Every structure is written in structure tokens, then in C-alpha cells.
Structure 1
Amino acid sequence: MTSNTFDRLKIPSGFWTELHQIGITGQDVLRKAHLPLTLLVEPVVVTTSQYFSIWHAISKLIDDPVSGIIKLITNSKIAQWPPSLLASYHARNYRDALNRMARYKQLCAPERFRITEEGQRCTIELEWLYTDQSEPPMLVYNTFVALLEIGRRATDQPLKARLVELSHPLGDVKALEDYFGCNIQFGGASNRLTLHRSDLDRHFVSYNAELLDILIPALDQTLEEQKRSKSITEIVKWLMKRNLEGGRPDIQTIANELGMSERTLQRRLTGEGTNFKLLLTEARRDQARKYLTDPSLDIKEVAFLLGYEDQNSFYRAFRLWEDDTPSNWRTTRLGVDSITESRVDIPPIH
């Protein structure tokens, strides 16, 4: 996905200082990432793509990324933590802390947490915002180590994870298993950290209600200002594309993702000269073009990925968009005569 007007994030001021703990300088990182050294002295605002480049550079500059991440997180000083992380550290319990991290994480990183509690498990799935690029494995490791570390520090207990699932292996796997206290599974489609659900009720010895009374209103205001500064149209289209697979996202689902009411979402879209139905059509059309340029996907798979219940519905929609069939459009763009679509009875377009 290309960079959007809302694809901007701030790197915490203590980030470069903490890198010195693992023997890396900010200058070396930025040179390796082919980014300007002015990021060390100016307000550090970067795109997701640049943020990924920074983490790719870090992983190349260190001998063992796993040991480096564990050292970086376990030796980090609370005084250097950003307010969004402090709000989690001083929460009432582990569950409260994780929910606060999920809410405020986007203030300093292009991440989103999906937290699911079921049975004896609490699963945290990591997603990356505003990009289709593959995430740097070291950044994923950093996030999961930080999630467990804050629980250990704040409860003053040697908490262990139940399971860690990672898309890509990196560095000393045994050191990672020793830290989490569980097996690591690699090669999955998603990155997930599974905790013991019983640990979520553990009281935080670092709980500080008075400090939270100061931090939370300021963070909520910053979050609201950040939302207002972004194009709601682009955000909604991005969320639609994320939620298309296997179903049609409705306005209630998207409004809930944004933390606002349906009425507020409708009002903001109207203010930007559009509406939910039109954006859903545009999101599907954009994704259809993207998927059809991938020869490995057949037409039936494309229809499913766009949230259509049947292939015929996709045909009718695509012909309205492009005045052509998906197969002809694909063949014209790719110049591949051998690409054929499955046989279906296409209802007439009225």
C-alpha cells in the first residue's frame, strides 16, 4: 500500500539513547536505512516504510537480534518510556494494561493489537497499519518481548507465555524460548503472543491512580487530535480493505474499529464529500485490480477476497466498474493468454 496522508508516526525521544545499550548508534542505523541524519536532531516523524527500514537496519547491525532485543527491553529505563507506555505500566492490572497499550500504541508505532480472551488463553495478534510490506522480524520480537516484560515488571512476577507464533525465525531461537518460557512456532501467516488468561487479573504493584488521572486525559486528547488530523476517507478505505476477506464490512464494524458511533462516522464522511457505500465500492475496485494482477489467484479466490458470496456477483460488479470481464482485464494487463477464468453462468446485467 502506498503512503497516505495519515501515515505518520513519532519515534519516542529515548529510542536512539536506548540503542546505545546494544552497541548501536543512531547515525549508523540511519545510514544503513538510507535515511537523513537530521532525524536525530529534528522531531522524529517517519512513515511506516521508513520505520520498517530503521528496524531492518538495526537487525543488520547487530550480531544476534534476539539477544539484542531482550537486552534492549529488559534494560530499558521507565523514565525514558513514552506516556502511552507509562499509562500501561501504571494500570490497575495486566488486562487493563494490555487494553491501554492497544488503545494508545498507534501514537508511537504503526501497530494494532487484536486481543482475544477464550478459555484459559489470551491471544494478542499483531497487525501493521498503512502498509502491505512484510514487517521486520526484529520489530515483531521487540513488540512481544515488551508486552511480556511490562507484565513482569508491573506484577513483580516471573510471568511466562503459553505460546508464541512468529512468521519468520531470527537469531537465537533458544534464547527467545528461554525468555518467554514456552515453545516458539514459526512459519504461520500471523504473529501471535498467547498469554495465560489467569495472569490478566494480576494486580500491578506499579498501579498509580493519581498519575493515570493526569496521563489518560492528555493521551485521549492527543489520540482525538490525531484522528481529526487524518483523512477519515482514507482511514475507512484502509479498514475496509483489511476487513473485506470472506465478508462485507458494515458501517457498524468500521465505526467500532475507529471508536466512534455510526452517526459520527457518517457525518465525517459526508463532510469529506463521500459516503460509506461509495467507499466500499472504491475499496473493492482497488483490491480487485490488485488481486487480478497476481496470476496465482484464480477468479473465484479474488471474489472471495473481496467479500462476495458468489462469483457471479463479482462478475457483475467488475463489468460495471471496468466494462470488461475480470479474465479479459487480467489478460490485457498481464499479457498472459493462458490465464482463464472458471466457467460460470453470468447473469445479464440490467
Structure 2
Amino acid sequence: MPSSAVAALGSRSVRHAMQVLDALKLPGVTSERLCREFGLSLSALEDPEYRIPYATLDALLERAVELSGDDNLGLHMANLPVVDPDDMASAVIATSPNLHESFERGVRYQRVWGDGERLKLEETERGIRVRYTPVGAWRPAHRHLSEMAMAQFIQGARLLTGQNVTPLCVRFVHPEPADAREHRERYGCPIVFRAPTNDIEFSREDAALPFLHADALVHAIFERQVQRELSQLPEAPGVVARVRAYLQRSLGGGDYTFAAVARALHLPARTLQRRLAEEGQSYAAILEELRRERASDFLQRRVSIAEVSFLLGYSDPSVFHRAFKRWWGMSPEAFRQRHGASR
């Protein structure tokens, strides 16, 4: 990915970096050594207001998996405390009235933890669904981040309600690991791999379960502190990153037209067009670049070509084939033969 695109992806709180370091306890592998490898300062990571680029966090997590040999590191990172006493957004969630409203607060205040819209809450016929979309083109770290997020959602639901909450279903975009026994034990519900999105679904009854520490007055105090914290954050990522994030969530199932993007960003269409031009981009170019990246990823993960065409929003597979040849200079079939065996 071009460096300008990486910069546009923004940064996130150091909390996940510290989770990686806390989960990685190996002889001869100190936190200081790992930080030096990625140009990080351990003392800086101990500052809860410090933020690091997403690409650095992803690389740190992938290196931790390599050093530990722990293929389920994301699941094991979820064993760490759900509520951070220095994290006011976590306090807002813990004092929410119920599970549904706690997720609403998590979506509303997610920028405290990192730039970009990674969490999305949706109503379903059976209850609620929380979608998690890691920032940037897919890479191995995203598997562990997604598995950790889903495990923490379940762990938090059980801890904060005092009930043995079991999701209706958990879905992941990545392939099923060689050994998924620990996943089935941890999630306790049907798991779908190679799904279009990472998400978790709870029943309407579980979503309405009251929280043990629900307190309207304390909640309001914490919420004001979080709003103050948000107001002090650096300026949010530019409109290019916001458009890209929306398209990531909407391709293959949502409305990803320019008009829909403008509505989602609460901008008039002409204003959005002008702001994209000011950042040297256009809606069509962002959409094409995202499709190009995701086509490569899907084909290397052995998703069928017809399904790739659908997931990228093409109504006619022949249009996808022509676009793919323009991007890569070969057909999707030839690309899969050349690159498919590498994963």
C-alpha cells in the first residue's frame, strides 16, 4: 500500500500494543527488545494517551505470533482484563443499562481507542449484530485482532451481566485455523469462517440483559469525561480514509454508491467531491483501489471467482474479469494459479 494511504489510515491507542507485550512472555524476548525492533519506546507505550500507527501495531502482533509460535495469540490476548481503569470509554460501557446500549456506546466512542470506524452495530431479526472491520487491507494480524475482539465481546457480556451469555453466531473473514477446538470452546456458538465480514450476533433477549454496574449518574459523569477526551484528540482522519472505511464495510452487501457515501458522512455530494479532490483523490479511484486489494486477497484465500465478483459489488462477472486484467495484467484464474499456493 502506498505510504500516503498508510498515513491516511490513522492511529490507535497503545492499549492493544500493551496487550501484545503482556501476552508475550518468552525467555530471552523482553518487551524492550520487541519495542526497539519496531522503533517504539516502552516508556511511551505506558502513556495511555500515546497513539501508534495501525501498520506498526499489525507488524508488532505478527512478530509476536512468530516469536511465540502461538497460532491462537488473539484468543489468549482476550484473557486480559476487559475494563481498563485508565480507560473512561470502558467505564462508560460498564455502567451502561444493558448489553445493547453498551455496544451503542462502544460504537459512538470508538475513536477514543483508534481512528476509523471499525465497529458497527446493526439490528437483526433475531437481535443485534456487531461488525468488526480492522483498518487497512487484510493482513495476518487482522485474524488475531478479530478473534480477540469477538472473544472480548463475549467475555465482557458475561462479566457485566453476570449471566452465561452465548452468542447466536460468530463469523470471520479468514479461513478456519488448522485446529479450531479452542475457538469452539471459547465462543460456545456456531462459527462461520470465510464469511463476508467479521461479526457477532446476540439474541434480542441477551441484548436486553441489565448490567450489574448500571448507574445513570455515574454513567453520565464518565460520558462527559469521554466526550472531553474526544475533543482533545488530534483532528480525525481525512475524508479519503473515511470514504475508504465506509466502502470496506459496504462492498458485497450494502449501498456503496457515491450518494450513499455522502449520506453516511453527512456531507452534500458536491462537498464530498470537492474534499476528495482537495486530498488528491476521487470516489472512483478509491473504490477501484479497494477492489483491487480485496480481489487479490480473496483469490489467495481460495474464495471462488464468482463469489469474489459478488463481494466486490459487480453485478456482471465479465465486468470483474475485465477490471482484474487491467489491474494485474492477467485473468483471475491465472492469478490464482500463480499466487494461490503461497497462503
**Normalising by structure 1, what TM-score?**
0.69
Instruction: Choose the corresponding residue for 2:209, options 202, 207, 213.
Output: 202
Task: Tell me, yes or no, if the aligned pair for 2:24 and 2:64 is still in contact at 8 Å.
Answer: no
Task: Tell me, yes or no, if the aligned pair for 2:96 and 2:211 is still in contact at 8 Å.
Answer: yes
Counterparts of 1:127 and 1:226 in 2: how far apart (Å)?
Answer: 22
Task: Tell me, yes or no, if the aligned pair for 2:17 and 2:57 is still in contact at 8 Å.
Answer: no
* Counterparts of residues 145-224 of structure 1 (less than 5 Å): 145-166=151-172, 167-170=174-177, 173-223=180-230
Partner of 1:97: 102
Q: Does 1:334 align with 2:329?
A: yes
Partner of 2:57: 51
Partner of 2:12: 9
Unmatched segments (≥5 aa) in structure 1: 316-325, 340-350
> What is the CA deviation profile of residues 42-97 of structure 1, one whole-angstrom value per residue up to 9, with x for unaligned ones?
6643222211112222323445454x655543452734462222221221100011
Counterparts of 1:247 and 1:120 in 2: how far apart (Å)?
Answer: 19
Task: Tell me, yes or no, if the aligned pair for 2:171 and 2:193 is still in contact at 8 Å.
Answer: yes
Task: Tell me, yes or no, if the aligned pair for 2:96 and 2:215 is still in contact at 8 Å.
Answer: yes
Counterparts of 1:126 and 1:194 in 2: how far apart (Å)?
Answer: 12
Counterparts of 2:55 and 2:323 in 1: how far apart (Å)?
Answer: 33
Larger Rg: 1
**Distance verdict in 2 for CA 1:214–1:114, change over 3 Å:** same
Give the 3-state SS of the residue equivalent to 1:262 in structure 2.
coil
Partner of 2:25: 23
The structural deviation recorded for 1:142 is: 1.0
Give the 3-state SS of the residue equivalent to 2:282 in structure 1.
helix
**Distance verdict in 2 for CA 1:254–1:107, change over 3 Å:** farther
> What is the one-letter code of the residue matched to 1:334?
G
The structural deviation recorded for 1:233 is: 3.9
**Distance verdict in 2 for CA 1:102–1:226, change over 3 Å:** same
Partner of 1:107: 112
Q: Does 1:124 align with 2:130?
A: yes
Task: Tell me, yes or no, if the aligned pair for 2:82 and 2:156 is still in contact at 8 Å.
Answer: no
> What is the CA deviation profile of residues 137-179 of structure 1, one whole-angstrom value per residue up to 9, with x for unaligned ones?
2222211111111111111112122222332344863333223
> What is the one-letter code of the residue matched to 1:16?
M
Give the 3-state SS of the residue equivalent to 2:151 in structure 1.
helix
Counterparts of 2:175 and 2:85 in 1: how far apart (Å)?
Answer: 30
Partner of 2:238: 231
Q: Percent identity?
A: 16
**Normalising by structure 2, what TM-score?**
0.70
Give the 3-state SS of the residue equivalent to 2:175 in structure 1.
coil
The structural deviation recorded for 1:126 is: 2.0
Task: Tell me, yes or no, if the aligned pair for 1:160 and 1:181 is still in contact at 8 Å.
Answer: yes
The structural deviation recorded for 1:234 is: 4.1
Counterparts of 1:292 and 1:21 in 2: how far apart (Å)?
Answer: 33
Instruction: Choose the corresponding residue for 1:262, options 255, 264, 267.
Output: 267
The structural deviation recorded for 1:243 is: 3.7
Counterparts of 1:242 and 1:57 in 2: how far apart (Å)?
Answer: 27
RMSD: 4.5
Give the 3-state SS of the residue equivalent to 2:168 in structure 1.
strand
> What is the one-letter code of the residue matched to 1:27?
E
Instruction: Choose the corresponding residue for 2:148, options 123, 138, 142.
Output: 142
Give the 3-state SS of the residue equivalent to 2:214 in structure 1.
coil
Query: Which sits farther off after the overlay, 112-121 or 149-158?
Result: 112-121
Partner of 1:323: none
Query: Which sits farther off after the overlay, 175-184 or 232-241?
Result: 232-241
> What is the one-letter code of the residue matched to 1:123?
R
**Distance verdict in 2 for CA 1:182–1:283, change over 3 Å:** closer
Unmatched segments (≥5 aa) in structure 2: 335-343
